[in-house]
Amino acid sequence: MNLKNITHKIILLIIIFLLTFNTRAFGGVNPPREEIEAMIDEVALKRGIPALLLKGIARVESVYKQFNSDGSPKICGTSIGLMQINNVHGGYDNYRLKYDIMYNIEAGADVLLNKWSMSAYEQVSRVGNMDPNILENWYFALWAYNGWAQSNNPVSPYAKKYTYQQLIYDVIEKEYGKKINNIDFSYLPKYDKPSRSLVVPTPENHSKGDIVLYEVGDYVRTDGMRNAYYLRDEPAGKYVHQLNINQLGIIKEGPVLKKGYYWYKVYIDENREGWIERNWLLRTGDTVYGRYIFDDISFHWGRKTIMDLYGKGIISHAHLYNPNRIVTREEYCVFLSKTLNYIEKINQQKILDFNKIFSYQDIEQFSPWALKYVEDIYGRGLIEEEKLFNPKDNISRKDAVLIIKDLLISSKNFDPLNIETIFPDLHNLTEKEKEAVKTAYLNGIVSGKSFNSFCPEEYLTRAEAAVIMLNIVNKYVR
C-alpha cells in the first residue's frame, strides 16, 4: 500500500471519528413523548416507585426533553437532562447524564428514593404510615427533590405561587387524570421547615400507585445505580451481609411494609440470607417456571401463563414476548392452531376433524410463517373465509371468542341466562356474537376486562391471547 492511499485512509478515519463525536455530543434528538413515558414506566417498575410521580417530575423539570433544539444536552445551571439532575457533588456519571436518557431517568429515580429515605428514616417529616404505594405519602419527598426549600412550603409567606409539589400534582391530574389530594397544611409551620418528628396523616381520600410486588419463590437479582447492597437481620434492621450488583437470590418471605419500604427475605446461599428493600430487586423468574426467557414479562400479570405456554411448546423462544402488543388475525390463528395440536398430541385424539380445503386465492396477504396455521384453523371449520380478509388486521375480543365458539359446549342449563346481565356492554352485538361471549365465559375461557365490562370491540393483547389458550388447554387436557 502506497503512502498516498495510507494518507487517504487516515483522513477518512479522522472524518468518521469527528462525525461520530459530533453526533454523540451535539446530535441528540428527543424521542417522542410516548417513548419517554415508556422508559419512565420501565424505570419506575424496576425501582418500585409509582410511575406517575416520575412522569410528573420529568414534565415539570424538562417538559420531557433531554436535549435542546440544537441537539445539545438540556442543562439549566448545574442541572442536567430530562430529570434535571444536579451532580455538583458527584455520584453520577456526568457524561451519561447528558447523553444517556435511560441513565438520566434512573438517576432521577435514585434522587427521589434518596428523598423518600429521608422521610422513611425520620430525617425529615413524613406522611401517614409511609406506604410508598399511596401517592399522597410522597409529599415531602417531592418537596425535597430540588432541595428542602422554604419556598415550597405552601403556608410560608415566602412560598412560591405554585409550590414544586403542587406543580407535579397539577400535571398528574391534568395530563393523566389522577387526582392526588394535598396533606392537611395546618400541620406545617409558617416560618421553619417541618420538624423531623412531624407525622402528617395520609388524606382520607387518597390514590393508589402501581408498584408491583413480588411473591415467595420468585427468583431475583440485585439491581440499581449502587455498587453495593445490604441484607439485614430483619426489615429495616441491622446490616448482616453485603451484596454486589446482579447477585442472584430466591425470595423466602415478604412483603413486609416497614419504614417506608416493602421488605423481602432473600436466600442467597447456606451462609447468606436476610431482608432487603423491594426497590433493589429485579424479578427474573420463579421456582415453578425457572428463569423467564422473555425479558419483558418479569413485571407482567400474565408472566406465569406465558411461561406455561412456552413450556408446552405453544409459544416459541424469543428475546421479547411483547405481552401488551395487539394480536393480528393470523397471529391468533397461530396461537390457536398450536394449542389444538398440543391438546391432540397429549390426548391422542382429534378435537375437530379436518373437512375443509383451504382454497384462498390471495395467499400473499399472509405471512409465510403463519400460513400453515391459518390453513389448519380454516380446515377445522373454526374461521369463515370472509374473516380471512386482511389477516394482518388486529383482532377484537368479540372476534376472538367467535373463532373458538365451536370448540366449546353450550349447556342447556344456562339457556335462560342473559349474558348482558353480566356484561352490559354487549348490547350492540349480534345474537351470534353474544352467544359466543356467553359460551366462552361459561366455559371459563374468557372473563371481563374491567368491572362489569367485556369490552368486545377492544383489541386482544398477546397476554390475553395466552390466557385464552391456556384455559382451552386446561379444559381439554385430561
Q: Within this chain, do residues 338 and 461 fall inside the same structural domain, yes or no?
A: yes
pLDDT of residue 5: 52
Q: Within this chain, do residues 281 and 329 fall inside the same structural domain, yes or no?
A: no
Residues 46-77: pLDDT tens digits? 999 999 999 999 999 999 999 999 999 999 99
pLDDT of residue 360: 63
150 in a structural domain? yes
CA distance readout (Å), 286 to 123, 223, 251, 303, 305 = 37, 17, 9, 10, 13
Closest CA to 295 of 287, 305, 283, 308: 283
Domain count, the chain: 3
Whether pLDDT at 14 is above 70: no
Higher pLDDT, 191 or 21: 191
Residues 279-312: pLDDT tens digits? 999 999 999 999 999 999 999 999 999 999 999 9
Mean pLDDT throughout 102-113?
97
Q: Within this chain, do residues 404 and 335 fall inside the same structural domain, yes or no?
A: yes
In sequence order, the β-bridge partners of residue 275 are 232, 265
Last residue in a domain, options 130, 163, 184: 184
What is the pLDDT confidence band of residue 192, given thresholds at 50, 70 and 90?
A: confident
113 in a structural domain? yes
Higher pLDDT, 24 or 213: 213
Q: Within this chain, do residues 172 and 258 fall inside the same structural domain, yes or no?
A: no
Lowest average pLDDT, out of 55-69, 190-204, 269-283, goes to: 190-204
Q: What whole-number distance in Å separates Cα of residue 281 and Cα of residue 406?
A: 45
pLDDT of residue 409: 80
pLDDT of residue 15: 39
Whether pLDDT at 17 is above 80: no
Beta strands in 404-464 (DSSP E): none
Q: Within this chain, do residues 436 and 336 fall inside the same structural domain, yes or no?
A: yes
The mean pLDDT of the chain is 90
Which grid coordinates are listed for 421? Answer: 346481565
Residue 49: CATH number of its domain: 1.10.530
Whether pLDDT at 4 is above 50: no
Residue percentage of the chain with pLDDT more than 90: 76
166 in a structural domain? yes
Mean pLDDT throughout 394-423?
88
Q: Within this chain, do residues 283 and 308 fall inside the same structural domain, yes or no?
A: no
Q: Within this chain, do residues 257 and 312 fall inside the same structural domain, yes or no?
A: no
Q: What whole-number distance in Å separates Cα of residue 352 and Cα of residue 337?
A: 11
In sequence order, the β-bridge partners of residue 261 are 258
DSSP category for residue 419: G
pLDDT of residue 25: 37
282 in a structural domain? yes
Please answer whether residues 246 and 177 qualify as being in contact, where contact means their C-beta atoms are separated by less than 8 angstroms. no
pLDDT of residue 385: 72
Residue 274: CATH number of its domain: 2.30.30.40
pLDDT of residue 20: 41
Mean pLDDT throughout 317-338?
95
21 in a structural domain? no
Q: Within this chain, do residues 397 and 281 fall inside the same structural domain, yes or no?
A: no
Q: Within this chain, do residues 318 and 247 fall inside the same structural domain, yes or no?
A: no
Q: Within this chain, do residues 236 and 174 fall inside the same structural domain, yes or no?
A: no
Whether pLDDT at 19 is above 70: no
pLDDT of residue 381: 87
210 in a structural domain? no
> DSSP secondary structure string, 340-382?
HHHHHHHHTS-SS--------S-GGGS-TTTHHHHHHHHHTT-
Q: What SS3 class is residue 461? A: strand
Residues 118-157: pLDDT tens digits? 998 888 899 999 999 999 999 999 999 998 888 999 999 9
Residue percentage of the chain with pLDDT more than 70: 92
Q: What share of the chain is helix, strand, coil (3-state, %, to 5)?
A: 40, 15, 45
Q: What whole-number distance in Å separates Cα of residue 59 and Cα of residue 300?
A: 26
DSSP category for residue 250: E
Q: Within this chain, do residues 444 and 361 fall inside the same structural domain, yes or no?
A: yes
Domain that holds residue 353: 303-476
201 in a structural domain? no
Last residue in a domain, options 236, 269, 290: 290
Q: Within this chain, do residues 452 and 309 fall inside the same structural domain, yes or no?
A: yes
199 in a structural domain? no
Sheet with 261-269, side-by-side order of all strands? 239-244, 228-232, 272-277, 261-269, 248-258, 218-222, 281-286, 290-291
In terms of DSSP H, where are the helices of 355-453?
A: 371-379, 397-404, 431-442
Mean pLDDT throughout 448-473?
94
Higher pLDDT, 393 or 415: 393
Last residue in a domain, options 290, 318, 339: 290
Closest CA to 305 of 115, 470, 83: 470
Residues 163-179: pLDDT tens digits? 999 999 999 999 999 99
